[in-house]
Amino acid sequence: MEPACGEMRQIKVGVLGCGTVGKGVCRVLLENRALLAARLGMELTLARVADVNPMTPEGLGLPEGVFTTDPSRILEDPDIPIVVETVGGCGVARELVLAALRAGKSVATANKALIANHGREIYETAMASGVDFMYEASVGGCMPIIKTIRESLAGNRVTSLFGILNGTCNYILTKITHEGLDFARALAEAQEKGYAEADPTMDVDGFDTVHKLAICMTNAYGMHVDYRDIYVEGIRRITPMDIEFARRFGYRVKLLAISKNHGDRVEGRVHPTMVPVKSLISDVNGPMNAVMLSGDAAGDIVLYGQGAGMMPTGSAVVSDLVDLARNHLCKACRRVPVFSFQDSCMAPARLMPMDEVRTRYYIRFAALDRPGVLSRLSGVLGDHRISIHSAYQKGRESDGPVAVVLLTHEAEEKNMQAAVKEIEAMDVVGARPVLIRVENQGAVED
Ligand code: HSE
């Protein structure tokens, strides 16, 4: 039974864009109206929903007169202090967000590309207008990652964060892992299920993840991190063969967003990563997301949930609306700073170049099965100060090349890249080697 409430004041919300996420926001506001009122002490009223397509709200049960095709009916309505942007993309969405902020309205969005590309401009506009800008739903769908970094870990120096922030890639990698599908087949299934777009580039090449990582790093460290400065590599080259070798070594392959705080500099990278089978992250399957945040006082925190979808993303946007409404009610704008730190304390990003990153590596060569080949390969690695942890060679079935797989101890990226280049040029080595970085963070002890 919903809690009963007496006479209530109301605060009006306008939603710009009525696609999947916009619909989710509308549904949460409409379906949980009494619950929200009981929590807020006032009605959070869905006053206006704007979309260019008049057919979009069909079946949504919007009250009479709420829908419009004209965004100015939200932007120019002085009785609507809170606006949701769910248009998507960086063109019209950017213009609408800036217009809403300039009109003195606080804005909530789920649009990570917009924040990653125009976050600073939006932030400065919000500062100048004395309003709030919130974006919990931009990273990890329903998981409260931004809130956890900004509020729950406010007393911590964030020491690292890593996780699965793209459900499409995780779905594809899960299919390759558990059903032995190749990348193309797994991608086709992800498209059939509606997880992957017709053009899957943003997801499978890691760009969606790198946008989200830049947003998390900005909040974690109080520095404006540009996603273009973060190393990114997608999952197109991952094969069932590599996943099977990973299993033999006790690992699974995930597309990870990784960041580590080295004090003077921070590390940020997105790439396929081998994680221990005995770790929470390795058990995150299908389209699910998970992130492990570490703070110097708190230790490790793991969040797990649906990173996309109408209702999970709608849930995250509405959590921002509740915060914005509370701020509005208390006339307490930006009680929590937009990017976690006071404006005067935001620093320029100090990113460690990828070349200097240290990690462990899995490397698979196609090499001729001849005497001395393994020692030549290990010799090159040794020359570049890379120490081998374990090796495996697949038995020869023909005169063609065989798979030689090496797992290394920790090494520097530039040394590994130089070694791979040298090995690629060897006459006994065939196709381009496959390199997958290995992280043992988050391993669970027996
Ligand atoms: N395309 C994203 C994913 C969802 O596959 O996780 C939206 O961020």
The CATH number of residue 366's host domain is 3.30.70.260
Q: 3-state class of 380 per DSSP?
A: helix
Whether the pTM exceeds 0.85: the reply is yes
Asked if residue 33 is part of any domain, the answer here is yes
Q: Is the pLDDT of residue 223 over 60?
A: yes
Predicted confidence band at 334 (pLDDT cuts at 50, 70, 90)?
A: confident
Residue nearest to atom 7 of ligand 1 (CA): 308
Q: 3-state class of 394 per DSSP?
A: coil
What's the CA-to-centroid distance between 289 and ligand 1, angstroms?
9
Q: Rounded to an integer, what distance in angstroms lies between the CA atom of residue 139 and that of residue 398?
A: 48
Q: Rounded to an integer, what distance in angstroms lies between the CA atom of residue 317 and that of residue 154?
A: 21
Which of the listed residues 346, 368, 398 is the one where a domain comes to its end? 346
**What Å distances lie between residue 301 and 144, 163, 242, 333, CA to CA?**
12, 11, 30, 29
Q: Is the pLDDT of residue 280 over 90?
A: yes
Asked if residue 264 is part of any domain, the answer here is yes
Average pLDDT over residues 7-23: 92
Write out pLDDT tens, residues 236-247: 999 999 999 999
Write out pLDDT tens, residues 148-173: 999 999 999 999 999 999 999 999 99
Question: Got the DSSP string for 251-311?
Answer: EEEEEEEEEEE-SSSEEEEEEEEEEESSBTGGG--TTEEEEEEEETTTEEEEEEEE-SSHH
Whichever domain contains 188, its CATH number is 3.30.360.10
Q: Rounded to an integer, what distance in angstroms lies between the CA atom of residue 361 and that of residue 8?
A: 60
Q: What stretches of 165-235 adopt beta strand conformation (E)?
A: 223-224, 231-232
Asked if residue 4 is part of any domain, the answer here is no
- Looking at the structure, tell me whether residues 422 and 295 fall in a common domain: no
Q: Which helix (H) or strand (E) holds 322?
A: helix 310-330
Q: Is the pLDDT of residue 6 over 80?
A: no
pLDDT of residue 278: 94
Cβ–Cβ < 8 Å for 67, 17: no
- Looking at the structure, tell me whether residues 158 and 55 fall in a common domain: no
pLDDT of residue 5: 46
Q: Is the pLDDT of residue 8 over 70?
A: no
Q: Is the pLDDT of residue 324 over 70?
A: yes
- Looking at the structure, tell me whether residues 259 and 325 fall in a common domain: no
What's the CA-to-centroid distance between 167 and ligand 1, angstroms?
6
pLDDT of residue 304: 98
Asked if residue 3 is part of any domain, the answer here is no
**Domain assignment of residue 241, given as a range:** 145-306
User: Inter-axis angle of helices 20-31 and 33-40, to 10 degrees?
Assistant: 70
Which of 86, 165, 166, 210, when mutated, tests ligand 1's pocket best, judged by the most ligand atoms within 8 Å of its CB?
166
The separation between CA 44 and the C-alpha centre of its own chain, rounded to angstroms, equals 29
Rg of the chain over Cα atoms, rounded to whole angstroms, equals 24
- Looking at the structure, tell me whether residues 23 and 87 fall in a common domain: yes
Q: Is the pLDDT of residue 1 over 80?
A: no
pLDDT of residue 369: 85
Ligand 1 contact, 308 CB (< 6 A): yes
Please give the single-letter amino acid code of residue 303: L
Average pLDDT over residues 9-31: 97
**Domains: count for the chain:** 3
Cβ–Cβ < 8 Å for 108, 320: yes
Which of the listed residues 280, 306, 332 is the one where a domain comes to its end? 306
- Looking at the structure, tell me whether residues 90 and 151 fall in a common domain: no
- Looking at the structure, tell me whether residues 383 and 324 fall in a common domain: no
- Looking at the structure, tell me whether residues 285 and 199 fall in a common domain: yes
Q: Rounded to an integer, what distance in angstroms lies between the CA atom of residue 169 and that of residue 210?
A: 13
Which of the listed residues 289, 320, 346 is the one where a domain comes to its end? 346
Cβ–Cβ < 8 Å for 33, 8: no
- Looking at the structure, tell me whether residues 15 and 111 fall in a common domain: yes
Whichever domain contains 339, its CATH number is 3.40.50.720
pLDDT of residue 2: 43
Asked if residue 205 is part of any domain, the answer here is yes
What's the CA-to-centroid distance between 308 and ligand 1, angstroms?
6
Asked if residue 175 is part of any domain, the answer here is yes
Comparing C-alpha atoms, which of 18, 10, 15, 437 is closest to residue 255? 437
Please give the single-letter amino acid code of residue 416: M
Cβ–Cβ < 8 Å for 143, 305: yes
- What sign does the dihedral 88-94-96-101 (CA atoms) show? positive
pLDDT of residue 370: 85
- Looking at the structure, tell me whether residues 284 and 297 fall in a common domain: yes
Asked if residue 2 is part of any domain, the answer here is no
pLDDT of residue 373: 87
pLDDT of residue 25: 98
Ligand 1 contact, 166 CB (< 6 A): yes
Ligand 1 contact, 218 CB (< 6 A): no
- Looking at the structure, tell me whether residues 206 and 326 fall in a common domain: no
- Looking at the structure, tell me whether residues 276 and 330 fall in a common domain: no
Write out pLDDT tens, residues 182-212: 999 999 999 999 999 899 999 999 999 999 9
pLDDT of residue 7: 54
Q: Is the pLDDT of residue 17 over 80?
A: yes
Task: For residue 414, indicate whether it is catalytic.
Answer: no
Mean pLDDT of the chain: 94
Asked if residue 153 is part of any domain, the answer here is yes
Q: Is the pLDDT of residue 3 over 50?
A: no
What's the CA-to-centroid distance between 162 and ligand 1, angstroms?
16
Cβ–Cβ < 8 Å for 173, 254: yes
Q: 3-state class of 91 per DSSP?
A: coil
Average pLDDT over residues 376-391: 94
- Looking at the structure, tell me whether residues 220 and 324 fall in a common domain: no
pLDDT of residue 151: 97
What's the CA-to-centroid distance between 278 and ligand 1, angstroms?
26
Which of 203, 235, 254, 255, when mutated, tests ligand 1's pocket best, judged by the most ligand atoms within 8 Å of its CB?
203
Ligand 1 contact, 413 CB (< 6 A): no
Ligand 1 contact, 170 CB (< 6 A): no
